[in-house]
Structure 1
Amino acid sequence: MIDFRSDTVTRPSKTMRNAMANAEVGDDVYGDDPTVNELESWAAKRHGFANAMFCSSGTQANLLALMAHCQRGDEYLCGQQAHNYKFEGGGAAVLGSIQPQPIDNEKDGTLCFKKLAAAIKPDDSHFARTTLLSIENTINGKVLSLEYMAQARKFTQRNNLALHLDGARVYNAACALNVDITEICQHVDSMSICLSKGLGAPIGSILLGSEALIKSAKRWRKMVGGGMRQAGIIAAAAKIALEQNPEKIQQDHDNAKYLAHALNQLDNISVNVAQVETNMVFATFTEEIDMADLVEQLKHQGILLSAGNPMRLVTHLDINQSDIDNFIQELKRTLTKSS
């Protein structure tokens, strides 16, 4: 199958599978898993944080960060399109009793600091306490600049807020900016990194932060059922993803541009190629095309897509230019047949 639905669909490499099969393991709830411990220690040092915690998913890592930063009745600021607000089941509110205060994202994915400042609540018992700003890099494939990251840091310092980065695809951001990952990390108090998207691990995310924050987050992780036992089996693949696969992300970005240009050559489809900054392409189809039917027809040809208009297509480790050429050929054939 050629799968453009997301970069979460990547399969572990042979190197990862061998590492998983041979990983040294222990009980991670007791802190006894040497492979998990090595991953966490390495990740903390690599990204410039005091400590790190291996989590089962990005949703879990973000939730634990919010719960470690905020007390019950506190509030966090975020974007209307923020993953930890819109797509993670309302966990902060449901499980953490933390009130989200979403702000409209600007077209480039940023949040306006004037709007954020206006949303901060007065120190008054009538209001939730605003304690945290959560931002996302990348967001819908768009990259937040280093200048914006620095401005966000200054904003939170002026307003006595902590700053969390949902960095599910932060390595895509670093690649697009052509900087070392630490140039982004330096501006935030905590950060999650999804290891099972562009980095290609089968399972897991890492949460980075201070010693105190990670200690609190570990307690919350146990409470919500996230304590894992012989997790070294998946941590072994996660470490390979962090060590070896960041250098492969540029190929995903190049393939996304290649895909965008190819789609733009077809009738009934338009793509703003200039807005393809990382590994996501958003293609707009003309109204007469039945998107659900198109997706179903291409599925029978071994091509998986997410229905929607615009349609999001994501390149990743398991997509190459030959796959894109095959997809374009089948898409063109299907559109011609349907017209």
Structure 2
Amino acid sequence: MTPAIDLISDTSTRPSAEMLAAMSRAPVGDEQLGEDPTTQALQDRVAELLGMEAALFLPSGTMCNLIAFLVHCRSGDEIITADTAHVFGSEGAGASAFAGAQFRPIPSPDGIFSGLQLEAAIRAPRYRSPRSRVVSVEQTSNRGGGSVWPLTSLWEIATVGQGHGLAVHMDGARLPNAAVASGHAMAEHTRGFDSAWIDLSKGLGCPVGGVLAGSAAFIEEAWYWKHRLGGAMRQSGVLAAAGLYALENNLERLAEDHHNARLFGSLLAGIDGLTVFPENIETNIVFLDLTESAVDAHEVSKHLAAEGIRLGVEGSRRMRAVTHLDVSRADVERAGTVLARILRDQAAAA
């Protein structure tokens, strides 16, 4: 049963009545034959937003990343990314399992690394070494507390990567959040990148899907992998319609989620033994570190659940809250107030 206030992730969003109505009205056809007008409209729209030639609607964001690596890499290649990156720690090592590629992680607490760090990670060509093939950045950085890569940093990575013959890929699961937070269009974030994608099922509120974009030649190759991985669909316009609705109605409102995340963090400020990360909350992700407290995150979670509130538990001393369109300001105020009380009560009882 879904809690009354669910802050475990922005994937908890459910389609609104208006989105469901748009889905029910969608004109559809066979997407594999190029006959689904709604899917094509979504792909064209995302390609335009990301400044790319073409795009491909896929069932999930993980598949977007995996297909990008399958197109860019061959067995024995290496993908350079942050050690906090979702592709490195939270996608079942798909690039290794399917593409035969390994990751070369760059230590980066906030998920953002520099051109100099990238230069240092690129391997010199040797027969005995894996080949540096791809650099992947995550915008926003999930484990970095929703941190936003500055445009200059993204452009630096693109310049260095392409200067060394690497493909440059963006895991743009929360790129819409970054665009709204920074005030810069998504195409500015992806300038110089070979591939990028956005997730529809996070802050945009769709029930499923992601859209991968790149050059026309890249998307042509991506189609092969879409079929091989079982990602081909038929009348996918029913789902694509949700994406079109979200891009029209749910994009700019992401700013509300960012305001609510900052409010949540402020309600927990000053509690002994609790550290709120990041210190300056940029988007919709807030981490809670209980390392300096005697309180166990699993126990806190149980008490929250009894009050109809859910946060993510990342370990005995770490929790995560993610704001989204199904959580109002009043919900956030209640969740923060209740959590503060529970933390104080648990600390007093320890």
Alpha-carbon contact 1:11-1:201 (below 8 Å) kept: yes
* Cα separation, 2, equivalents of 1:290 and 1:44: 45
- Quote the residue 1:315 is aligned against: 323
Q: How big is the shift at 1:46?
A: 2.7
1:324 maps to which of 324, 332, 347: 332
CA contact (8 A) 2:204 2:251 kept: yes
Corresponding residue to 2:243 among 238, 242, 260: 238
Is 1:252 the counterpart of 2:257? The answer is: yes
Residue 139 of structure 1 and its aligned partner are, at CA, apart by 0.5
Residue 69 in 1 paired to residue 72 in 2? yes
The DSSP-based 3-state class of the residue aligned with 1:111 is coil
**Structure 2 counterpart of 1:172, from 172, 177, 181:** 177
Task: Give 2:134's match in structure 1, choosing from 132, 135, 152.
Answer: 132
The 3 A distance-change label for structure 1 pair 306 and 46 is closer
- Greater mean deviation of Cα atoms: 21-30 or 231-240: 21-30
The Cα of 1:266 is off from its aligned counterpart by: 4.2
1:316 corresponds to which letter in structure 2?
Answer: H
**Cα displacement string for residues 2-21 of structure 1 (whole angstroms, at most 9, x for unaligned residues):** 01111110111111100111
User: Counterpart in 1 of 2:294?
Assistant: 288
One-letter identity of the residue aligned with 2:141: I
Within the candidate set 300, 305, 312, 1:299 is matched to 305
User: What's the offset of the Cα at 1:287?
Assistant: 2.5
Q: Say which SS state the counterpart of residue 246 (structure 1) adopts.
A: coil
My pick for the range that moved more, 242-251 or 201-210, is 242-251
Mapping for residues 1-339 of structure 1, pairs under 5 Å: 1-105=4-108, 107-140=109-142, 141-271=146-276, 274-285=279-290, 286-308=292-314, 309-338=317-346, 339=349
1:240, distance to aligned residue in structure 2 (A): 1.2
Moved more, 3-12 or 119-128: 119-128
Tell me the distance in 2 between the aligned counterparts of 1:135 and 1:335: 35
Equivalent-residue separation in structure 1 for 2:270 and 2:330 (angstroms): 17
After the TM superposition, which of the residue ranges 18-27 and 325-334 deviates more from structure 2? Answer: 325-334
Q: TM-score, normalised by structure 2?
A: 0.92
Q: Distance in 2 between matches of 1:30 and 1:167?
A: 27
Structure 1 residues 228 and 333: alpha-carbon distance in aligned structure 2, compared to 1, 3 A threshold: same
Tell me the amino acid that sits aligned with residue 318 of structure 1.
Answer: D
In structure 1, stretches of 5+ residues that fail to align are: none
Deviation of 1:318 (Å): 1.0
Please give the per-residue CA displacement for 1:27-63, whole angstroms capped at 9, x wherever unaligned: 2122221111111112212321100000111100000
The 1:315–1:44 alpha-carbon spacing in structure 2 relative to 1, beyond 3 Å, is: same
Structure 2 distance, partners of 1:167, 1:71, is 23
Letter matched to residue 328 of structure 1: G
Displacement of 1:80 in angstroms is: 1.0
Q: Secondary structure at the match of 2:235?
A: coil
Distance 2:230 2:135 in 1: 26
Superposition CA RMSD, Å: 1.7
Q: Is the 8 A contact 1:109 1:143 kept in 2?
A: no
Distance between the aligned counterparts of 1:189 and 1:288, measured in 2?
Answer: 47
Q: Structure 2 counterpart of 1:18, which letter?
A: A
Give 5+ residue unaligned stretches, structure 2.
none
Moved more, 108-117 or 297-306: 108-117
Contact 1:153 1:163 in 2 (8 A): yes
Q: Is the 8 A contact 1:257 1:273 kept in 2?
A: no
